[in-house]
Amino acid sequence: MFKGWKKGIVAALAAVFALTGCFGGGNNDDGDGEDAEHLTISFFGIDYDDLQSPTESTEKIMKVIEDKFDVEFEVLNGSSAGWKQVLGQYIGGGDVPDVFFHTREEPLYSDMLSDGLLFNYSEYLDEYPNLKKAFSRYPEKEMKHLLGGDYYGYPIVMNDETDSALVNEHAMYYRRDWYTNLVAKNWAPTSGRPLVDPENENFNYLNFYDLCEGFTKGDPDGNSKNDTYGYAMTKDGGLYWWYPLLTMFGVSADGWYKDGDGKWQPEVISDKAKEAVMFISDMYDNGFINSTYATITTQPVMKNEFQVGKAGMVTYNATYPMGLGILDNMRTFVPGGKSLSDVVRAMPTVTGKDGTKRTYAFPNLYGYRAINNDISVNKKKRIMSIMDYMLSEEGMRLLDYGIEGEHYKIEDGKIVSLLGTDPDGGGVKTLYHNSVAPGVFRLKSLVSWTTRIDPGIRFYNEQMQLLDAWGKSQHQTVPNLYYVSVDKSYGLKMSQLEELAATKYKEIVKDLGDGAAAKREAAWNSLVSKYKKDGDQYIRAKNAGAQELYGE
C-alpha cells in the first residue's frame, strides 16, 4: 500500500472535494478478493452514458470481453465538462477506480505521480506484445520524460490505423464553389497577383490572403450582396484555433525557438509571431475575419458561420462524425448536376512565408489510461490483458465491426455490414450508430479513440479528402520541446502565460481606429516585456528540461 497519495490529491483538489463527499464505486477491496478468478474492474472515463445504459448490441459486445477474461466492468462516468471533478471525488474519497482516464495537466498529474497513484506499465510490458507495440509508436525517451521518467500512463491513441507518432484530425474547410465562381467572373486580387487554386502545390500564404479578399469582397456567392467574409475564427480556446494562420509564419502557440545565445525562447513572443499577428491584423482590418471573433463568436457559432454560407473558410475537426455533420449541412448549396466536392473541400497545407509547408500536429494520442497502483498484481495483469486483446486484430474487429454473423459477415475475404441502411441520410450504418452499439466506441476508448469509417457511408470520398488533407500530410511536425516537462509548481504560471498571450493577441487583432499601427506596436512590446518578466523562471525551467532530455 502506497502512502500519502490521498493527502496530496486532496490538497490539489481541495475546492472540488469541499463540494461533495466521497462516491462509492472503487474496487480496491473486491468482496471476494482481488486474487479471485472472477474480478470486478471499475472503469472510469468520459461520457460513458451509453455504457451505463447500453443498447442490446453494446451489452452483447461488452459481454464478449467480460466472459473472455472472466471479469465484470463497473462503469464510472464523468461528463466531458465535469470529469475532472468526478475523478477528484473518487480519489479524494479513497475509492480510486481500477483503471481511469486522465490528462497530463499540471499540477494534478505530478501530484498523482509523486503520491504513487499511477502504475508503471514498464514493469510487465514485455508480456503484452500489442500493448508494447502501441507504446512504441511514440519516441521512448521523450514519452518517458513527459510522463515523469517511465510509462506511468498509456497514451490513448487517436488513430490506430497508422503507426505515426503524429496526428492532425482537423482540416481547413473551404468553399470550392466560391473559388470557381471567382474564376468564372475573372475576379482579380488588388495585390496584382493572380488568383491561385487553393489546391495548387505552390499555393502560399499570400495566395491565401488573396483568396480571403475574394471571399470577402468578390461576391463569391453571387447574390450581389456584401454579406460574406474570408475566414471564421472563435473566442474559445485561447490561441488554439489561431494555429493554421500562425503556422504560415513558422509559429506555434506552444512552440519554442533558439535565440542568438542558444537559449530556448517561446515562439509566441518571437519576431515571427509578431509578423504573423500583424498579418492577421491586416486581414481583420480588411474584413476578412469575422469582427466578433474575440467577443461573442463561440466555437459552434464559428462552425455555423461556414455552414450557413457566411464564411468562406474555417478550421475545424475533420473526424467522423464531426466532418460528416458539416458535409451534411453543406448539401444545401449543391446545385443540380454538381457534387458535394464541387462545394466544400479541405485545403491542403499552405506554403508558409519561409517557403516551407508545415502543419503543426500533436502526438497521436488524447489523454492517458492509468491503472491504479494500489490494486493487486493479478488485477493489473488482467487489465493489461484486456488492453492487449483490444489492440489485437481480433479485438479491434470486435470493437470496430461487432460480432460476426450478427453485425457483419465475411464475404470474399472482406467485412460486409449486416446493419442495414442509415435512415438519417442513406449509406451503411456503422457499429456506433445510436440504434446499434454507440457504447462500444466508449469501451474501445480504453485503448483507442479511432472510429472506423465504412466505405459504404454517405460522402465517403469527401470525408476521406478532409481527413487526408492534413491528417496524412508529410508536412506534419510537432512543436519544439513538446515532450519537455517542467515541475508541477509551474502549472499555474503556464496557464497565466497562455492567457496573457491570448489576451494580448486579441488586443492587437481588433478595431483600433486612428493610430492603429502605433497601438499594435505598443501592445506587442508590452506582451513581450511582461511575458519575459512573468515567465522568466518558467523559461529557465524549460531550458533546464531541454538540457536534461536533449543535452541542449
Please say if the pLDDT value at position 433 is more than 70.
yes
Phi, psi torsion values for 183, nearest 5 degrees: -65, -45
| pLDDT(517) > 50 | yes
Kindly state the percentage of the chain with pLDDT values over 70: 93
Q: Categorize the per-residue pLDDT at 424 as very low, low, confident or very high, splitting at 50, 70 and 90.
A: low
DSSP letters for 430-475: PTTSTTS-THHHHHHTTTB------TTBTTHHHHHHHHHHHHT-TT
* Least confident residue range of 27-41, 107-121, 503-517: 27-41
Output the nine-digit C-alpha cell for 195. 488568383
107 C-beta neighbours (distance < 10 Å), count: 17
Contact 152, 115 (CB under 8 A): no
> What pLDDT, on the 0 to 100 scale, is given for residue 322?
80
Residue 124 reports pLDDT greater than 90: yes
- Give mean pLDDT, residues 134-143: 94
Q: For residues 266-285, give the mean pLDDT.
A: 98
Distance CA 116, CA 168 (A): 33
Strands (E) located in 202-280: 229-232, 256-258, 264-266
Does residue 383 surpass a pLDDT of 80?
A: yes
Contacts of 229 (CB under 8 A, 6+ apart): 212, 215, 216, 287, 288, 289, 290, 310, 311, 312
DSSP codes joined into one string, 6-23: HHHHHHHTHHHHTTS-PP
Output the pTM of the full model. 0.83
Q: Is the pLDDT of residue 55 over 60?
A: yes
**Given pLDDT bands bounded at 50, 70 and 90, which one contains residue 27?**
very low
Residue 78: pLDDT over 70: yes
Query: What would the mean pLDDT of 37-63 be, rounded to a whole number?
Result: 96
Own/partner contacts of 120-124, CB < 8 Å, gap of 24 or more, are 120/150, 120/151, 120/152, 120/373, 121/151, 121/152, 121/153, 121/154, 121/371, 121/384, 122/150, 122/151, 124/380, 124/381, 124/384
Hey, what domains does the chain have and what are their CATH numbers?
5-163+365-447 (3.40.190.10), 170-360+479-550 (3.40.190.10)
Q: Is the pLDDT of residue 426 over 70?
A: no
pLDDT, tens digit, 9 for 90 and up, residues 221-241: 999 999 999 999 999 999 999
What's the whole-number mean pLDDT along residues 62-76?
97
pLDDT (tens digit, 9 = 90+) per residue, 296-342? 999 999 999 999 999 999 999 998 778 888 998 999 999 888 899 99
Looking at residues 478-501, what average pLDDT do you find? 92
Give residue 552's pLDDT.
Answer: 78
Sign of the torsion angle spanned by Cα atoms 128, 134, 138, 144: negative
CA distance 552 to 548: 8
* Burial class of residue 38 (count of CB atoms within 10 Å of its CB; 0-12, 13-18, 19+): exposed
CB neighbour list of residue 401: distance below 8 Å, 6 or more residues apart: 407, 408, 415, 417, 431, 452
Q: Which pLDDT belongs to residue 397?
A: 96
**Pick from 142-146, 186-190, 528-532: least confident:** 142-146
Per-residue confidence (pLDDT) for residue 337, from 0 to 100: 84
Distance between CA atoms of 321 and 424, rounded to whole angstroms? 13
pLDDT at 35: 60
Distances (CA, A) of 65 to 61, 125, 158, 419, 430: 7, 21, 22, 21, 20
Bigger pLDDT: 434 vs 523: 523
Question: Does residue 12 surpass a pLDDT of 50?
Answer: no
Q: What are the phi and psi torsion angles at 55 (to 5°)?
A: -70, 170
Residue with cell 457566411: 310
Which helix H or strand E contains 518, and what residues bound it? helix 516-534
Does 1 have pLDDT greater than 70?
Answer: no
How do 39-46 and 71-78 pair as beta strands? parallel
| Percent of the chain predicted with pLDDT > 90 | 78
Under the banding of pLDDT at 50, 70 and 90, the label for residue 5 is very low
What value does the mean pLDDT of the chain take?
91
Q: What is the pLDDT of residue 31?
A: 41
Report d(CA 230, CA 248) in Å as an integer.
Answer: 16
For residues 76 and 86, what is the distance between their CA atoms, to the nearest angstrom?
9
Ranges 75-79, 118-122, 154-158, 425-429: which has the least confidence: 425-429
Give the pLDDT confidence of 391-402 residue by residue, as tens digits: 999 999 999 999
> How confident is the model at residue 34, as a pLDDT?
54
Q: What angle do CA 532, 537, 543 make, to 5 degrees?
A: 95
Residue 127 has pLDDT above 90, yes or no: yes
Please report the pLDDT score of residue 2 as a whole number.
34
- Which of 79-83, 169-173, 208-212, 497-501 is predicted with the least confidence, judged by mean pLDDT? 79-83
Strand ranges for 79-134 from DSSP E = 99-102
Residue 4 has pLDDT above 60, yes or no: no
**Among 144-148, 190-194, 223-227, 454-458, the least confident range:** 454-458
Report the alpha-carbon distance of residue 182 to residue 299 in Å, rounded: 28
